[in-house]
Amino acid sequence: MKRIISKIRNFIATVRAHHSMPLRLEFVVSDYCNLNCKGCTHYSPLAPDEFESIATLERSAAHLGATVGHDIGDVYIIGGEPLLYPHLTDAMEMMRRHFPDNSIKLFTNGLLLPRMNDEFWLAAKRHRIIIALTIYPIKFDYDAAQALCARHGIECMIFGDRRAENSFMRFGLDPTKKQNARLSHFKCFNRGCISVIDDKIYPCSISGCVSHLNKACGTSFEHQPGDWLNVADVKTAKQIKALRDNPVPFCRYCNPNPTVTDYGHSRRDKHEWTD
């Protein structure tokens, strides 16, 4: 009996912790990337070299900044590899204009930092952009990249160190869509990765970016009403919180028990992402 009560208490505490997480918005500027990581959660090894239009990005940022900017925490500029985005300096300026009081982080694998020009560094400094560096098990001098940011007066944080054991997962979408959506959502490893893509908001990149998998590998993971919000329909942060905190139809594709896998290069094989 004690064990059952303890399990119920743990469950309630976990749900409360999930619901009290600060909201953040991840603006996806491209899924194209200069690394090729197996099982990437943005399907970047399969993504074409296409980029979000700056007009669409501005429209989404303007609407979300005005309606929910005060109710969210961080704003991310994310990819793929956002340092490849041709409109990056404009994007940084515009994000700061629409989210004047939020922490804005630019997520990068860092490989292109040594090649960025003065225009980039000046814009990053002027608009108080934080470089969020993810470390991968590849040959690259991450200490030098951090020192470079410091020399330009830019805050740099290590967001994740993927050299650590167990830091890569294979999520293995179930094409039969027979998973228990509540369980998958409760155990979700991508919780809070609210992705703004074009003029839509998805609870995660696994769902939001799945068209790359479908196009490249002939799979047919489909979206249904309830899987996304239209940016233009967002009036309060509660709507985004509800999208994050409740299972969506796409969760039925998600295996609640993803497996740990070693880091490796993608072979662009669909089985990196699906059973």
CB-based burial label for 3 (10 Å; 0-12, 13-18, 19+): exposed
Helices (H), 99-179: 118-126, 142-151
- Which C-beta is closer to ligand SF4: that of 57 or that of 65? 57
Q: Which helix (H) or strand (E) segment is 212 a member of? A: helix 211-217
How many Cβ atoms sit within 10 Å of the Cβ of residue 95?
24
> Which of residues 23, 88, 188, 194 is near ligand SF4 by CB under 6 A?
188
Is residue 109 near ligand SF4 by the rule CB under 6 A? Answer: yes
> Which of residues 83, 104, 156, 206 is near ligand SF4 by CB under 6 A?
206
- The identity of residue 269, as a single letter, is D
Q: From residue 52 to residue 91, what is the string marking binding to ligand SF4 with x (rule CB under 6 A)? A: ---------------------------xxx----------
- Contact region with ligand SF4 (CB under 6 A), list: 66-74, 118-126, 233-241, 248-256: 248-256
Structural contact between residues 200 and 228, judged by C-beta atoms closer than 8 angstroms:
yes
- Contact region with ligand SF4 (CB under 6 A), list: 1-9, 21-29, 35-43, 62-70: 35-43
CB of 167 to ligand SF4, least distance (A): 11
Q: Which residue reads 């001098």 in tokens?
A: 141
Interatomic CA distance for residues 246 and 250, integer angstroms:
11
Is residue 204 near ligand SF4 by the rule CB under 6 A? Answer: yes
How many Cβ atoms sit within 10 Å of the Cβ of residue 151?
9
- Contact region with ligand SF4 (CB under 6 A), list: 19-27, 29-37, 213-221, 231-239: 29-37
- Which C-beta is closer to ligand SF4: that of 23 or that of 204? 204
Interatomic CA distance for residues 207 and 11, integer angstroms:
25
> Which of residues 51, 76, 221, 250 is near ligand SF4 by CB under 6 A?
250
Structural contact between residues 68 and 60, judged by C-beta atoms closer than 8 angstroms:
no
- Which C-beta is closer to ligand SF4: that of 40 or that of 77? 40
Question: What's the first-to-final CA gap in the chain, in angstroms?
Answer: 38
Is residue 207 near ligand SF4 by the rule CB under 6 A? Answer: yes
Is residue 184 near ligand SF4 by the rule CB under 6 A? Answer: yes
- Which C-beta is closer to ligand SF4: that of 33 or that of 64? 33
